[in-house]
Amino acid sequence: MPTFATMLSISPKDIKTAQLHGYLLGAVSPRPICFASTVDSDGNVNLSPYSFFNVFSANPPILIFSPARRVRDNTTKHTLGNVIATKEVVINIVSYDMVQQMSLSSTEYAAGVNEFVKAGFTEAPSVKVKPPRVAEAPVQLECKVNEVVALGNEGGAGNLVICEVVQLHIDENILDADGKIDPAKIDAVARMGGNWYSRAKTGMFEVPKPLSTLGIGVDALPEAIRFSTVLTGNDLGMLANVEQLPSGDASADIKMHKKAQALLGQGDLTAAWHTLIK
């Protein structure tokens, strides 16, 4: 007789939404990430990542992502209001080289705050829609929003944003000899449960969640650090995820920047800052 695992059997109605949410995110993974750039009716830019996302059709080319209502207080995100108001979005694909900055952009900054600036990304003008593209993203998909389907009214309920791709932008450096996207070159990342992500080339890695308070943002870093020739976008994203800038003078010494970079690679943000600020 085969031996079966002991199963935890749960009715969704018998547990809290937050617990159910955690089970679903842990089970349905890895999930591709929609890095959505939008504008509101006044032209203010917003940028936010979503892992309830995938492609569902090639003719017409349809993508769907879902900004869920917040579990804790049943509020909605700026992205949802923007796509309802303007019917446009750019979906940017996240590579490993930008994952720390992407994580920082998920911080809940106030309406009107430009996450491109806070996360240190570059706005690239779109061709057919108003929201800008993320220049650092290996693929950028300009979309018109065909429909938004609300799946419920309570905290945790999703909203299906059904998007039709009207223009594609692909970095030629991620293409192989046949002109196809090379999975290793695009180096995409995907979301898993908790703080965990998956990298297409190497598997799982961890990115600590952004502060529950607001990180200072890349734009608030000292120029000697922000314009470093050593520190990468990921490095700057990690350094910017602090509540306040450490006191002291920022070092422009390349040796110190390399030492700080090594410490960041080990996950030691505090020691990295002590290296950079004297």
112 within a domain of the structure (yes/no): yes
* Same structural domain, 183 and 66: yes
Q: What's the total number of domains in the chain?
A: 2
* Same structural domain, 74 and 172: yes
* Confidence at residue 130, expressed as pLDDT on a 0 to 100 scale: 98
82 within a domain of the structure (yes/no): yes
187 within a domain of the structure (yes/no): yes
* Same structural domain, 114 and 24: yes
**Domain-terminating residue out of 148, 173, 206:** 206
Dist. CA 266–CA 164, nearest whole Å? 41
pTM for the structure as a whole: 0.78
5 within a domain of the structure (yes/no): no
User: Digits of tens for pLDDT over the chain (278 positions)?
Assistant: 556 678 889 999 999 988 998 899 889 889 999 999 999 999 999 999 999 999 999 999 999 999 988 878 887 889 999 999 999 999 999 999 999 999 999 888 888 889 999 999 999 999 999 999 999 999 999 999 999 999 998 888 899 999 999 999 999 999 999 999 998 999 999 999 888 999 977 776 777 776 666 788 999 999 999 999 999 998 999 899 888 888 898 999 899 999 999 999 888 999 999 999 98
Contact 192, 204 (CB under 8 A): yes
Dist. CA 33–CA 102, nearest whole Å? 10
**Domain-terminating residue out of 176, 206, 236:** 206
* Same structural domain, 193 and 223: no
* Same structural domain, 54 and 178: yes
* Same structural domain, 195 and 129: yes
Residue 231: domain span: 218-276
* Same structural domain, 196 and 229: no
CATH number at residue 158: 2.30.110.10
* Confidence at residue 204, expressed as pLDDT on a 0 to 100 scale: 67
2 within a domain of the structure (yes/no): no
**Domain-terminating residue out of 171, 186, 206:** 206
Cα dihedral 174→175→180→182 (10° resolution):
-50
* Confidence at residue 211, expressed as pLDDT on a 0 to 100 scale: 63
211 within a domain of the structure (yes/no): no
CA 186, distance to chain mean position in Å, is 16
* Same structural domain, 157 and 241: no
Task: Phi first, then psi: give them for residue 218, nearest 5 degrees.
Answer: -60, -35
* Same structural domain, 257 and 138: no
* Same structural domain, 134 and 198: yes
* Same structural domain, 188 and 231: no
* Same structural domain, 229 and 130: no
* Confidence at residue 41, expressed as pLDDT on a 0 to 100 scale: 92
Dist. CA 148–CA 145, nearest whole Å? 8
3 within a domain of the structure (yes/no): no
238 within a domain of the structure (yes/no): yes
